[in-house]
Chains A and B, each alone.
Chain A
Amino acid sequence: MKSESITAFGRQAGTIFVTLFGLLVLTFCIGRMMPVDPVRAIIGEEADQATYQMVAERIGANLPIYQQFFRYVNDLLHGDFGTSIRTGQPVINDILHVMPATIELATFAILFGAGLGVPLGILAAVQRNKPVDHIIRFLTLIGHSMPIFWTGMIGLIIFYAVLDLVGGGGRVSDFYIGLVPDTTGFLLIDSLIAGDWEVFWDAVNHLLLPASILGYSSLAYITRMTRSFMLDQLNQEYITTARVKGLSKRRTIWHHAFANIRVQLVTIVALAYGGLLEGAVLIETVFSWPGFGQYITNNMLIGDMNAVMTCVLLVGIIFIALNLLSDALYKIFDPRTR
């Protein structure tokens, strides 16, 4: 029994190792394919040949490609993710600086998406093929098919330009920028610590629209999955048994069917949370939101190789971790997989 689980653990560790290695190869290839001369990017166009040689030697640009890869991995293992050519700062510092804005946005989005998506999915499953189900399915289909950057703009036109209900681009109005000390990077928390309610409400006002539009895309996914999980359960015999023995419909749905899909739901919500990164790239551009998504696109547009490689690596690691987490959740909470 014990050796079996050790073998399983070993296999799992091997898989993770191979996947991470493949990820490194991928980011390295992307970095090397970029039409940017890493040496020129550091020394500028005017530098002479001697300086060029010296810098090339120092950063290893003239080494054979496999040695460059070895250097890259070695640097990463020593926690050196390279220096951003644009800001001159270590890339990892830049990323840590922009991350809170994205986490704030994504967290509100997932609260919206899961808080509304799970009940809607259950409702659709219970009311299967009735008008409510059709309406919910139509809404999720639209959420699935819409270009999110476009929805963001339409939202800005309606709720900001015409109705003037929410704040426009950015995390707060211009005249509030820098008023609250940057303690955690999470603006809502920082303004609470500073006790500045004006900034807090302004920040909430700016967060509402981008977060709900970003959340709508995850709502579509979560609703769809909840509906199909619920239908799987409702079609099973134990539900009929529960109903036959006189349990109320409400009790059957919540205490039996819903109890059985909770693990799957946690998994789905975790994956949807990571998936928000994709929408964030577009939504942050629309709303001038100074987060990770905007950082990644800006660096791609100017071709800052070190920053792009590290961002792609980070996204890959986040997703590998999320997938592992969801596997682990299954194993922990689902007795059948033990």
Chain B
Amino acid sequence: MAIHTLNTRDNAMPASLSNPNSSVRRLLAVIRELLGNPSSGFGLIVISILLLTALVAPLLAPYDPNIVNLDNVLQPPNAAHWFGTDELGRDIMSRIIYGSRISLTIITIVSVIVGPVGLLVGTTAGYFGGWYDTVMMRITDIFLSFPSLILSLAFVAALGAGLENAIIAIGLTAWPPIARLARAETLTFRNADYISASRMQGASSLRIILKSIVPMCMPSVLVRITLSMASVILTAAGLGFLGLGAQPPLPEWGAMIAIGRRYMLDNWWLVAFPGGAILLVSLAFNLLGDGLRDALDPKQH
């Protein structure tokens, strides 16, 4: 009897993840729950708009973001240029729309680096324990003891300024919190009955980690990644602003603000709109992350 219940529990998670029909249904249920709450609904909608904007930027942007028009510099917001024009006469709204592609690229690459690395370090450290755990957690602690912007700055200074290096630097600083979380989660399941059961059935450590532990860590890791995207956006913009991230003439929002700074006292729109875009996206990720936590991870409440 006991063995029977163990087996169903062991299979429950992977089955629901591998069966496309039920995972689609679960995803729809989560989305419905997110939209039901005004704040997480707002977050989800803003991020969907960001995705769409990045996808169809050429269709949405009223002007070419890089066309210089020296007869039309520093125009305040008007009917032809809703967000005004910059010091080279480029349309700010079009630049913000194209800039969404850069933001999305940064977010995507950072999550693709940070999620697997954090999961790998955290689950193996929690599962194996011992000196391996100690070494891994010491390394994690050293990275965690820095404010992320200062560590990213140092890495970018070492690697050289530029968008690619900024992404690598942010990735290098963003994995430790995820590793910590994955380890803590792993410690709570490590001695669970279904893990012992699959070990007794002869499953290898690798198989147990991949098939039984990683899926269980996924919800909280996803929540954590979503929440950390808010700070990734801010760090990337900060690097761009300091001149160490994306370089002009790329329409990265932080870099746009850096250039607008020279003209801001008389031309507020050069900094106000790109910064508003950063605030909106970062806010949306925070709200979506909070909502996802409520929807996916009831045990944290």
0 or 1 for each of A143-177: is its CB under 8 Å from B? (1 = yes): 01111111101101100110000000000000000
A300 engages B244 (CB within 8 Å): yes
Q: Could you say which residues of chain A place their CB within 8 Å of the CB of B145?
A: 19, 23, 316, 319-320, 323
**A54 contacts partner chain B, Cβ-Cβ < 8 Å:** no
0 or 1 for each of B154-191: is its CB under 8 Å from A? (1 = yes): 11111111000000000000000000000000000000
**B286 contacts partner chain A, Cβ-Cβ < 8 Å:** yes
A315-B146 CB under 8 A given contacts A33-B158, A282-B238: yes
**B107 contacts partner chain A, Cβ-Cβ < 8 Å:** no
Closest chain A CB from B216 CB (angstroms): 25
Considering the complex, give the chain A residue whose CB is closest to the CB of B260.
A153
B158 engages A161 (CB within 8 Å): no
Considering the complex, give the chain B residue whose CB is closest to the CB of A32.
B158
Closest chain B CB from A211 CB (angstroms): 18
The CA of A282 and the CA of B240, in the complex, are separated in Å by: 11
The CA of A132 and the CA of B9, in the complex, are separated in Å by: 44
The CA of A275 and the CA of B149, in the complex, are separated in Å by: 10
**A297 contacts partner chain B, Cβ-Cβ < 8 Å:** yes
Within 8 A of B (CB), among A1-55: 15, 18-19, 22-23, 26, 29-31, 33-35
Closest chain A CB from B100 CB (angstroms): 15
Listed in ascending order, the chain A residues whose CB lies under 8 Å from chain B are: 15, 18-19, 22-23, 26, 29-31, 33-35, 141-142, 144-151, 153-154, 156-157, 160-161, 274-275, 277-278, 281-282, 285-286, 296-297, 300-301, 303, 308, 312, 315-316, 319-320, 323
Listed in ascending order, the chain B residues whose CB lies under 8 Å from chain A are: 138-139, 141-142, 145-151, 153-161, 230, 234, 237-238, 241-244, 254, 257, 261, 264-266, 268, 271-272, 274-275, 278-279, 282-283, 286-287
Q: Across the A-B interface, give the 8 residue pairs with the lowest CB-CB distance, nearest first.
A: A150-B275, A278-B147, A300-B157, A33-B158, A145-B283, A145-B282, A22-B142, A319-B145
- With A156-B264, A157-B271, A281-B150 given, name 15 new contacts (CB 8 A): A142-B283, A144-B286, A145-B283, A146-B282, A147-B279, A148-B238, A150-B279, A153-B271, A278-B149, A281-B153, A281-B238, A282-B149, A285-B242, A300-B157, A319-B146
The CA of A19 and the CA of B146, in the complex, are separated in Å by: 12
A303 engages B157 (CB within 8 Å): yes
Closest chain A CB from B142 CB (angstroms): 4
A312-B147 CB under 8 A given contacts A35-B160, A145-B230, A282-B241: no
A147-B286 CB under 8 A given contacts A34-B158, A161-B265, A308-B157: no
Q: From DSSP, what is the main secondary structure of chain B's interface residues?
A: helix
Q: Could you say which residues of chain B place their CB within 8 Å of the CB of A312?
A: 146, 150-151, 154
| Pairs across A and B, CB under 8 Å, 12 listed | A19-B138, A29-B158, A31-B158, A35-B160, A146-B279, A153-B271, A157-B264, A157-B271, A161-B265, A278-B148, A285-B241, A303-B157
A300 engages B275 (CB within 8 Å): no
Considering the complex, give the chain B residue whose CB is closest to the CB of A137.
B39
Q: Could you say which residues of chain B place their CB within 8 Å of the CB of A319?
A: 145-147
Considering the complex, give the chain A residue whose CB is closest to the CB of B272.
A154
Please pick, from B142, B150, B279, B283, the residue contacting A19 in the complex, using a CB distance under 8 A.
B142
The CA of A178 and the CA of B268, in the complex, are separated in Å by: 32
